[in-house]
Structure 1
Amino acid sequence: MTSPQLWNLPNVLTMLRIVLVPFFIWFMLEDASSYGPWRWTAVVAFVVAIYTDKLDGDIARKRGQVTDFGKIADPIADKLLIGSALILLSALNELPWWITILMLVREVGITALRFVVIRYGVIPASRGGKLKTVLQTLAIFLFILPLKGLIPWLGTAAFYVMLVALAVTLVTGVDYIVHAIRMRSLARAARR
């Protein structure tokens, strides 16, 4: 039987975000860069999913409902949403593949690094990591908004925000690697 603590509001919101990902993908593919009603539906799905990310964390901390499931599922849900959005934008020729690849390599690499060093401790999300998520989210939102015909500079703004997001993504990736090396060294020194 599942622990009642698992079925709290923050975890349900995290699961909702995971469930929204295939719908977001479907809406984006149905639109196929025509910037019609399906694209607006994709925007709504993305905004709702991103809002659940903020909401679940706020509720979990406020109510003391942080669970091991939430600690694992929340970042997975984030990576599924952000990763699928990046891949879709590149597949639809709206975002260069090199940006998507660099971001995904960093995300997968840091996630793997966290699992490798978990025996020495948990690498918490840094302020830079949180800024990275905000910038990635903003850039994706600007890219998927179907207003480029009405606001010609929107595409350029989206691209520049994405470049800033990429820079922060790479810099924080290096920071996490340095943090992991230090944590491992300290743990080994403590055992001597």
Structure 2
Amino acid sequence: MNLANKITMARMMLIPLFILFFAEYPAWLIERSAFFEYIQAYGRYWALAIFILASATDKLDGYVARRYNQITNLGKLLDPLADKLLISVALIMMVQTGLVATWIAVVIIAREFVITGLRMVASEQGVALAADNLGKWKMVLQVVAIAAVLWDNYPFQFITFIQMDELLMLAAVALTIYSGVHYLLNNYRLIKMS
């Protein structure tokens, strides 16, 4: 396994760590364990740091793969899978803790299922569908929005009374929908013509 794929795997291994620090634990466990008491007090900050680190490795593995000619079929499979898992897990955990509305998570995750399904159909026909720039910007905005919500609207709360984390999340949903429709329309024609 090359370095780029190892970085991608490291991103996937950070997801359970994110869950550990972000999860809510029962009071009896927190009272009996200094570790879980610490997680109760500071877990969200650690979860935010882990999320940002994992998100940053997305750019790093892509750079390493291109720079050192380490683009592989395994990497093409694992890289988008790691992205989807990271975003999906973060959203599901945020719904569970009441930080994000359920419909937001459903829309974003459903878009990923639809696009993945389209890519699978294309692959069956021997057509490789590459990610487009809108999809990349969508991912960036999702990461920024999730980080802003995890950081509890900091530092925006000192600048404006507007809930910027909520606005960023709504913008991420809008771009998610738009990029999904755009991708479907552009690539559906390619599949039908093949």
What interval of TM-score do these two structures reach, taking the shorter chain for normalisation?
Answer: 0.7 to 0.9
CA contact (8 A) 1:35 1:146 kept: no
1:179, CA displacement in angstroms? 2.2
Report the Cα distance in structure 2 between the residues aligned to 1:141 and 1:149, rounded to whole angstroms.
12
Give the alignment partner of residue 112 of structure 2, picking from 107, 119, 122.
107
Deviation at 1:36, TM superposition (A): 3.1
Q: Over residues 41-61 of structure 1, what are the superposed CA-to-partner deviations in whole Å (9 max), with x where a residue is unaligned? A: 111111111111110001111
Q: Which runs of 5+ in 1 are unaligned?
A: 1-6, 188-192
Superposed CA offset, 1:60-109 (max 9, x none): 11111111000000000001100000111111111111111111111111
Q: 1:132 and 2:126 equivalent? A: no
Does residue 23 (structure 1) correspond to residue 17 (structure 2)? The answer is yes
Q: Partner residue of 1:4? A: none
Identity across the alignment (%): 37
1:36 alignment partner AA: A
Distance 1:40 1:25 in 2: 12
Counterpart of 2:84 in structure 1: which amino acid? K
**Aligned partners of 1:156 and 1:123: how far apart in 2?**
37
Give the C-alpha shift of residue 186 in structure 1: 2.3
In 1: Cα distance, 2:71 partner to 2:54 partner: 19
Q: What's the TM-score once normalised by structure 2's chain length?
A: 0.85
* Inter-partner Cα distance in structure 2 for 1:20 and 1:181: 34
Report the number of matched residues: 180
Q: Does 1:89 align with 2:94?
A: yes
CA distance in 1, matches of 2:70, 2:8: 13
Matched, 1:169 2:163: no
For the residues of structure 2 that align with 1:180 and 1:71, how far apart are their CA atoms?
18
Instruction: Confirm or deny: 8 A CA contact 2:152 2:165 kept in the other structure.
Output: no
TM-score by length of 1: 0.86
Q: Mean alpha-carbon deviation: is it higher for 22-31 or for 49-58?
A: 22-31
- Counterparts of 2:51 and 2:162, CA distance in 1: 18
2:46 & 2:85 partners in 1: Cα distance? 18
* Shift in CA distance, 63/27, structure 1 to aligned 2, threshold 3 Å: same
- Provide the C-alpha distance between the structure 2 equivalents of 1:155 and 1:9, rounded to a whole number of angstroms: 43
What displacement does 1:151 show? 3.1
- 4+ residue runs of structure 1 moved beyond 4 angstroms? 146-150, 152-155
The alignment's C-alpha RMSD in Å is: 2.3
> Structure 1 75/154 Cα, relative in aligned 2: closer, same or farther at 3 Å?
farther
